[in-house]
Structure formats: structure tokens, C-alpha cells
Structure 1
Amino acid sequence: MASTLFTQNIIACVWDFDKTLIPAYMQAPLFRRYGVDEATFWAETNALGENYRRRGYHISPEISYLNHLLTYVMAGNMAGLNNKILRECGADIKFYPGLPKFFESSRAWAKAKPEYVKHDIKLEHYVVSTGLAEMVRGSALAPYIDAVWACEFIENPLQPGFLKQNEFPLEAASEIAQIGVMIDNTSKTRAIFEINKGTNRNPAIDVNAKVTPEDRRIPLQNMIYIADGPSDVPSFSVVKQGGGKTYAVYNPANRAEFEQNDRLRQNGRIDHYGPADYTENSATTNWLQLQVEKMCDRVVADREAALASRVARPPRHLNPSPEEEAARRAARGPKQSSFLE
């Protein structure tokens, strides 16, 4: 008998990280640790493209900051930087109000009604970021995240001829040397489809494989994408076109961010926007809770309608009950005279 791959009773909040969950960029604690001026690093990163162009090179803007971090390591400004240090720096990331408690308490929304529990509905949280995965994994938010898509580095890369070696030397000191994963604002959409198809839960499912809508783990209409601005327009578009919800946040202290989000809504890029405040009863928390509950209600309705359409009515006795006989007599009206009486 054919069966679906997943029950589609999962709701997903998919989060950007920098300026969405935190006020600034996550790399700030890393720069402080090594005494690197943050403004100078980003100014250099932004100038790389033009300077390399003058020298006849072409460089992707999205990969520039990762390469520049590696250059700082090789030049000695960040000597010894490894994934362990990145995780340690992640512990110093400061979040917007209400976090990380919001990520834990919000899961209860999918259990708020008996019918939600009956259908085993769950709320999951995912981070999809152009930042550094190891810093997210080292942060206070990590225990409440179901999976992270972000940039990653490789320490001590394998050398030529490694396939012929039986053993590899144990390195006393590790240092990042290569880019392992690069996430940019366009490839974020790939992560969304991996969540959608369940690739992260079942590696046998390739993100490029054709998977019918009913076999996908989390339909796009069960997703809410939350981010801070125009760089996330590709992800906003994918989720919104798929029937999901999109929400932009802004720093309440920054009017320009408020105006930016207002333009996104006017242009139809997002469904709504609000301050990056995740405390209980804030406007943002209330809006997200409302959307999650609406999605839960739809999941319940869809699953119960599917059950009703697939289950035949039980057989009934042909003899009417006394109540049915009385109703039938009443419907016929007064008894008419007959020549047979």
C-alpha cells in the first residue's frame, strides 16, 4: 500500500540571524577577542571587489568576507582561529529582548488546543544565515534550534596524496584554512527547500530530487520566514509564493530600518513587520503566535477532512428505529381514507 513520506504536521519558523535575532553582526565578539577593529574589517571587505577588479580579478561579493577572515588568519592577525574558538565567541553573542526564551516557550503554541495534540502538531525553529555556523552553535540560542544553515570552515585541510595514506597525523593545533560551506542570500532558498523536502531529516532525499507536494515534510504554507530586510527578498519570495507567511523586523531605535520594512510591505514582499522584540505579548510575538495558530487550525482541518474522505460510513440496519418511523409518519401527513377499509 502506498504511503506518504511525512505526515505534514510540522510548522516551521525559519530565521535569519544578524539584525533579526541580534542587533548587529555576530562576528563582533570574534573581532573583540583578537583586537581587530570591526569597522575596518568590514570596510576592507566591501572594498575588495573593486580593488581586485583593478588587478584583473573577479570575486563574488558573498564570499569576500569569508576569504578576508582567512587572510587575517594567514597574516597572523587572527592566528590560531579554529572552530572551537568560534563556538566560544558565539557564547558572547547578545540577543534582542525575549531571546532565547521565546524559542523555547513558542513551541507550546502548537500544543495549545486538544486537537493540536491529537494530531501531534509541532513547531520547529531553523536558522538560515550568511554568518558563521559554529558561532550560532556556540550561542545561547543553540539548544532551541532544530538545525542551522550558515557558513563553515575546514581546519587542517587534507593534503595531496591523502587517499594513499593509511593514517593521518594528529595536529596539536587546529586552524581554519578553507571554506567548507558558503551561504549567501540566494542560496538561502536552497536551505528553505531542504527544510521543505525534509532533506535534513532524511539524507536519502536530495534537495534537487522531484518530490510531490504531499510527500514533503514541511509544506511552504506551513512556514514563516523572519528576517530584517531587502537582502532576504529571495527567501521572502519563495515562502510567500508557496503560501507561507513572511515577517520583517527592525531595531526600534533605528527609524531607517522601520521605513525599509514599510517599503517591503508596500511592495508586497512581506505580509507584516514589527520591532525585534520577542518578549511575551509584544507585537511581534503576538503576530507570530497568531500565524502559528492559524496554520495549526488548517493542519487539523486538512487532516480531518482527509480522514473523512477516506473512511467509508459504517453499514446500517435496514429496519428503521422508532424515532425514524415516527418522523416518516409525520412527514406523510394525516391518514387518507381507503376503499379497502
Structure 2
Amino acid sequence: MPETAQPVIALIYDFDGTLSPGNMQEFSFIKALDMTAEEFWSKSNKLTRNNDANGILCYMKLMLDEARHKEISLKRESFQRFGREVEFYPGVAEWFSLVNGYGRAKGVTVRHYINSSGLKEMIEGTSIAGEFENIYACSFLYDVDGKAVWPAVAVDFTTKTQFLFKINKGISSVSDNSEVNRYMREEERPVPFRRMIYFGDGQTDIPCMKMVRQNGGHSIAVYDPASAEKRRAAERLILEERVNFVCPADYREGGETYNVVTTIIDKVKYDYEFEQLLKKHREAAELEA
């Protein structure tokens, strides 16, 4: 798919701690288990350590085990209902239409993606689910009765990087490994890395944030404005040259995050026009040669 006259800019978000102040399971699912968040994650971490296992797979198994024990429905619709209770940082609900409108005014197309170690089914139940071109996240396999029985996709910090290449090449399928490895010339890729903006808050985002930054895109480490500790952790990422910007997780118009993103959009537009100018002059010279 060749580039069009209107460049596409991909805004790619982690979810927990980036768009939402906390892990999505904590707003209602863990409460329904009659557990505290500390109890649930302590149990998940213990399962991980004792079995030298993948932490994402362990939390997914624990969700299934505890839900069965407490006779909570394991159907997709049940997880989506829990997703409706997820809360967001200030401005998130209005953010997408705000940035889309700014992009249109500048002559660019803005697309939004989720790249998360959280649960896809819960994200699908949130009020913002329809804003995303694709949701890359953990998910379950379901049996003939529609009940979750096994992890289908587990997304950890290394798995996240493959989804950047899927976005880069315009591949929506998680299971398609052949297309993502097929050679594609840079100018044919729908979303070059230099037109990506990655939002993340923690350790699982570092490989993606660094990859986007190193390939000419822009990475933003967001932090909970109420936490000085999280701010310091985010600032370390910029000092270690893993991200370009550090912003509070406040998505309201006129805030730091808004100003950074709109400035990046301006830069991408000008860079694109400059590339087109270079291309025009090169093609003219080739015709004369």
C-alpha cells in the first residue's frame, strides 16, 4: 500500500497507567472476586516466581481460576461489562476527536492503536474502544459454550514490538506471521516509524518507546501527575535516551501532552511536504537525464 497524498500518523498507546490510572482489572473485576488489588497481584507474582513462568500468562490463568472459584461468568460479554467500569485520566474521553480534528486541519490522517499487556476483552468494553484502528492486547480462547478456557494471546514487553511492525506494514491480524516478515520497501509501508507517536508509562513499554525513537518517531513517557515517584521514573527514561518527551497523563486541550502531540503533528506534516518536494525535483531531473 503506497503512501497517499495525505500522510498517516499513528498514535500508539499502552493502556494501564497510560490512559487509565491503574490496572484495568482493579476497577471492578478484582472487587468481584472479593479480593484487594494487592492480594490478586501478590498471588499472581507468587505464581510467576514459583514456576519461573511468564507473568502475563500467570495473571491470565489466575483470572480464570479465581473467576471459576467465585462462579463469575467467563464469557466475553462478562469481561466487556467489567471494562465499562474502567476509569481514565483527565481528557481521555475527548482526546481522540480533538487530535483527529487537529490532524484534519493540518492535512494529515491520525489513527489510534492500543498496544497493551492488559485484556483486549475489557478494553472492548470501555467507552473509548471504538476510537482505535486496532487493539493489540492479551485475549482468551473460548470454548463452544463461549467461556474463556485458555490464553489466546499474551502480550509482554518483547511481544509488543512485533505490533509496531504490523502497524508499520498495515497488518491487523495478530496470527499472521508471514506478512509481517515479508519484505516491503520503506516507501510502500502505510505508517513509517518516523510517523509514529508512542505513549507508555512503564517497564513493559521501554523496548517499544526506544524502537520508535531510534527509527525517527517520537516516544512520550507519561506519568500520574499525583505521583512524584512516577514522574522521576519517567524523567529517567528521557535522560537514558529511551523517550523524547515526558508528560503528565493529562490529555486535555492546552495541556503539556496536547501541546507536544500537536507540535509533532506539525513537524510530520512539514517533513512530509519537504520529502515530496525532494521527490518532485529528483523525478524532474531523472526525466531530463
TM over 0.5: yes
Q: Select the structure that is richer in helix.
A: 2
Match status 1:20 vs 2:13: no
**Cα distance change, pair 154–257 in 1 and its aligned pair in 2 (3 A):** same
Match runs of 1:251-266 below 5 Å: 251-266=224-239
**Matching residue's letter, 2:168:** N
> Hey, what's the Cα distance between the residues in 2 that align with 1:262 and 1:136?
28
Match status 1:198 vs 2:170: yes
Cα drift, residue 198 of structure 1: 0.9
CA contact (8 A) 2:33 2:66 kept: no
Deviations 1:105-134 (A, max 9, x none): 101222224xx2xxxx20111010000001
- 1:18 match: secondary structure: coil
Cα drift, residue 257 of structure 1: 0.3
- 1:27 match: secondary structure: helix
> Hey, what's the Cα distance between the residues in 2 that align with 1:144 and 1:210?
30
> Hey, what's the Cα distance between the residues in 1 that align with 2:142 and 2:15?
24
Match status 1:288 vs 2:264: no
Deviations 1:159-184 (A, max 9, x none): xxxxxxxxxxxx3xx32111111111
**Structure 1 alignment gaps of length 5 or more:** 53-57, 158-170, 316-341
> Hey, what's the Cα distance between the residues in 2 that align with 1:296 and 1:239?
18
Residue 195 of structure 2 corresponds to which residue in structure 1? 222
Partner of residue 112 from structure 2, selected from 122, 125, 149: 125
**Cα distance change, pair 204–180 in 1 and its aligned pair in 2 (3 A):** closer
Identity %: 29
Cα drift, residue 191 of structure 1: 0.5
> Hey, what's the Cα distance between the residues in 1 that align with 2:207 and 2:172?
21
Residue 276 of structure 1 corresponds to which residue in structure 2? 249
Match status 1:146 vs 2:143: no
Residue 107 of structure 1 corresponds to which residue in structure 2? 100
**Matching residue's letter, 1:94:** E
- 1:100 match: secondary structure: helix
> Hey, what's the Cα distance between the residues in 2 that align with 1:222 and 1:15?
14
Match status 1:189 vs 2:161: yes
**Structure 2 alignment gaps of length 5 or more:** none
Residue 324 of structure 1 corresponds to which residue in structure 2? none
CA contact (8 A) 1:197 1:207 kept: yes
**Cα distance change, pair 39–6 in 1 and its aligned pair in 2 (3 A):** same
Cα drift, residue 205 of structure 1: 6.8
Match status 1:41 vs 2:28: no
Partner of residue 142 from structure 2, selected from 125, 133, 155: 155
- 2:152 match: secondary structure: strand
Superposed CA RMSD in Å reads 2.2
CA contact (8 A) 1:197 1:205 kept: no
**Matching residue's letter, 1:40:** E
Residue 66 of structure 1 corresponds to which residue in structure 2? 60
Residue 98 of structure 1 corresponds to which residue in structure 2? 91
> Hey, what's the Cα distance between the residues in 1 that align with 2:49 and 2:88?
34
> Hey, what's the Cα distance between the residues in 2 that align with 1:155 and 1:96?
32
- 1:211 match: secondary structure: coil
> Hey, what's the Cα distance between the residues in 2 that align with 1:111 and 1:244?
20
Deviations 1:84-110 (A, max 9, x none): 011111111110000121111101222
**Matching residue's letter, 1:291:** I
Residue 11 of structure 1 corresponds to which residue in structure 2? 9
Residue 321 of structure 1 corresponds to which residue in structure 2? none
> Hey, what's the Cα distance between the residues in 1 that align with 2:40 and 2:33?
12
Cα drift, residue 72 of structure 1: 1.6
Deviations 1:40-90 (A, max 9, x none): 1100011113333xxxxx42223211121122234x225322210111111
CA contact (8 A) 1:198 1:205 kept: no
> Hey, what's the Cα distance between the residues in 1 that align with 2:250 and 2:115?
19
> Hey, what's the Cα distance between the residues in 2 that align with 1:269 and 1:9?
25
Residue 73 of structure 2 corresponds to which residue in structure 1? 80
Cα drift, residue 204 of structure 1: 10
**Matching residue's letter, 2:134:** A
**Matching residue's letter, 2:25:** Q
